[in-house]
Amino acid sequence: MIYTKAKLKDGAVVCSPITAKNTYTYCAVCGKEIQIDLRELILAKAEDPYDTDVNCAECSAKMMHRGNIDIDAVIRLADVCKDIGYGMELHGLCEDFEVDDIRALAPEEYELFVDELLDKISEVRHAG
Ligand SMILES: [Zn+2]
């Protein structure tokens, strides 16, 4: 068992086992207290698990800010969707957008196309 030891003001020593549920840190961005599982830091090969910046879920999401979607990315995504068996959905979506080929999409449609494609896939998957 690994445990922490803390000395209180009155000299009493408190020991408590370290578990996946009682280790906390502060989000390096917003300072919110977050629970952290040390195993994750170790698995993530953090160089120094005692001094690693960790971000809360919200800040991590913000950091993964979506960049601009270009046609190459749309084509790559479409290819992957075809590969994993969503050619039908892709085809249906092209019909919705009234294009025969993804390359015919207008740049302002890329984002919507990607959203709709992912939505369709998620609908189909959850319809099981
Ligand atoms: Zn945060």
CA 123 to ligand 1 centroid distance, Å:
31
Does the predicted TM-score (pTM) go above 0.75? Answer: no
CA 17 to ligand 1 centroid distance, Å:
26
CA 53 to ligand 1 centroid distance, Å:
11
CA 52 to ligand 1 centroid distance, Å:
14
CA 24 to ligand 1 centroid distance, Å:
13
CA 33 to ligand 1 centroid distance, Å:
8
CA 34 to ligand 1 centroid distance, Å:
8
Q: What is the pLDDT along the chain (128 residues), one digit of tens a residue?
A: 888 898 999 999 999 898 888 888 899 899 999 998 888 888 887 778 777 888 888 888 887 776 778 899 999 999 999 999 999 999 999 999 999 999 999 999 999 999 999 999 999 888 86
What are the tokens at 77?
Answer: 């995504």
Q: Which residues surround ligand 1, an ion (CB under 5 A)?
A: 27, 29-30, 32, 56, 59
3-state secondary structure the chain: CCEEEEECCCCCEEEEECCCCCCEEEECCCCCEEECCHHHHHHCCCCCHHHCCECCHHHHHHHCCCCCCCHHHHHHHHHHHHHCCCHHHHHHHHHHCCCCCHHHCCHHHHHHHHHHHHHHHHHHHHHC
Q: Which residues contact 3 (CB under 8 A, 6 or more apart)?
A: 15, 16, 17, 18
